[in-house]
Amino acid sequence: MGLSVLVVGGGIAGLAHAVAARRAGHEAEVLEVRPGWEAAGWGLSLTGPALRALRTLDLADACAEAGHPVHRTVHCDAEGVVRAVVEPPSVLGPGEPVEVGIGRPALHRILREAAAGLGATLRTGVSVASLCHEDGQVTARLSDGSARTPDYVVGADGVRSRTRAQLGLDVEPRYAGQMVWRALVERPDWASDVHVFAGASGTTGVIPISARQAYVFLTESAVEARPAPESELARRMRDLLAPFGGRFADVRDTITDPAQVVRRPVHTLFLTGPWHAGLGVLAGDSAHAPSPQMVSGAALAIEDAVVLAAEVTARPDALPEAFEAYQRRRHERARAVVETSVEIGRRERQGRHDEVRALHQSGHAAMAAPI
């Protein structure tokens, strides 16, 4: 018999779990607190493990078509002189992309359309006001005054999860002392691979996300987590990128519109204790949020969604045991990614940029292991 799941949060983990749950024959309702579905417009890299998990949901090809498959990373110095071209094996197999760059709105649309197409109920502008466990049942009172009694609740509401607190699993996200920048740009012809530019001041790069678009990434270290006036974002990002020259300079100079730019504080989190209480369980950033430098938060979120659906389907009459089995399969992997990402941030803040690449490699090697 199918179960019913109430998913709190219509981001990557929540929508992916709705897809996985519907494919396994369960009822799924997703609540997104924002008034609409528009995802922030910057790009995202779907690494091999993310694509592998999307493949189990039959969505990897749609992401590759909507995004830009990448096979190589070109490492350059700050003047754009090529120092190395790295073509790692793809987690998906020979000839397959190593990663796919994609716009966040495109990824969210693919997940949303798949979930809705499979019959999940998707609602915006609504959240969970309270969760109450009684007589072996969970009751969710929603912000619109209605109530639900699903078989289980998934807290997929991100790093600042309210569900986590409602389940009594609270842990505070930690500010990593860094701000991460992304700018959406027109993709230059030479940027069909990932390009990384490393200089004494740090690292930037250009990631293609479609035939026409790419994003530029940058991490600003040792700064307070204060928002900057939006009107200054493009100029400030160009200033931070001033040490980089050569062909990168042409891309940098196209960052002129503040609407192209996002600047976000890096918050990391790892819940060392249980990720579940009663009939509620956490997935994605609400349980473990690595810093964006490891480019693996989305992969972890999609993997969680898939593994959780498999475990509840295997033990529909013993959900707390299913949640434990889910966490057993996820805990070490997520811990390793979060810890590696924190270490990357620490070395970046100390200016030890040449050590960062080795950490990336070991982190991604660990993520390549099957889930």
Ligand X SMILES: Cc1cc2nc3c(=O)[nH]c(=O)nc-3n(C[C@H](O)[C@H](O)[C@H](O)COP(=O)(O)OP(=O)(O)OC[C@H]3O[C@@H](n4cnc5c(N)ncnc54)[C@H](O)[C@@H]3O)c2cc1C
Q: Which of 6, 12, 107, 120 binds ligand X (CB under 6 A)?
A: 12
R_g of the chain computed on alpha carbons: 20
Q: Which of residues 33-92 bind ligand X (CB under 6 A)?
A: 33-34, 44-45, 50
Asked if 5 touches ligand X (CB under 6 A), the answer is: no
- State the residue for tokens 């979930």: 115
- CA-to-CA distance for 366 and 116, rounded, in angstroms? 33
Asked if 127 touches ligand X (CB under 6 A), the answer is: yes
Q: Which of 22, 162, 187, 333 binds ligand X (CB under 6 A)?
A: 162
CB atoms under 10 Å from CB of 337, counted, come to: 25
Indicate the pairing of strand 202-208 with strand 194-199.
Answer: antiparallel
Q: Which of 17, 18, 26, 32 binds ligand X (CB under 6 A)?
A: 32
CA 217 to chain centroid, in Å, comes to 15
Asked if 345 touches ligand X (CB under 6 A), the answer is: no
Asked if 364 touches ligand X (CB under 6 A), the answer is: no
Token reading at 118:
């499979």
CB 43 within 8 A of CB 104: yes
CB 17 within 8 A of CB 28: yes
Q: What is the largest CA-CA distance in the chain?
A: 67
Asked if 260 touches ligand X (CB under 6 A), the answer is: no
- CA-to-CA distance for 296 and 290, rounded, in angstroms? 7
Residue with Cβ nearer ligand X (50 or 234)? 50
Asked if 264 touches ligand X (CB under 6 A), the answer is: yes
Strands in 187-290 per DSSP E: 194-199, 202-208, 213-221, 261-270, 276-277, 280-282, 288-289
Residue with Cβ nearer ligand X (158 or 315)? 158
Q: How many residues bind ligand X (CB under 6 A)?
A: 31
Which range of residues in 129-137, 153-161, 238-246, 249-257 is near ligand X by CB under 6 A? 153-161
Asked if 150 touches ligand X (CB under 6 A), the answer is: no
Asked if 292 touches ligand X (CB under 6 A), the answer is: yes
Asked if 99 touches ligand X (CB under 6 A), the answer is: no
Question: Where does this chain bind ligand X (CB under 6 A)?
Answer: 8-14, 31-34, 44-45, 50, 127, 156-158, 162, 180, 182, 264, 284-285, 292, 295-299, 301
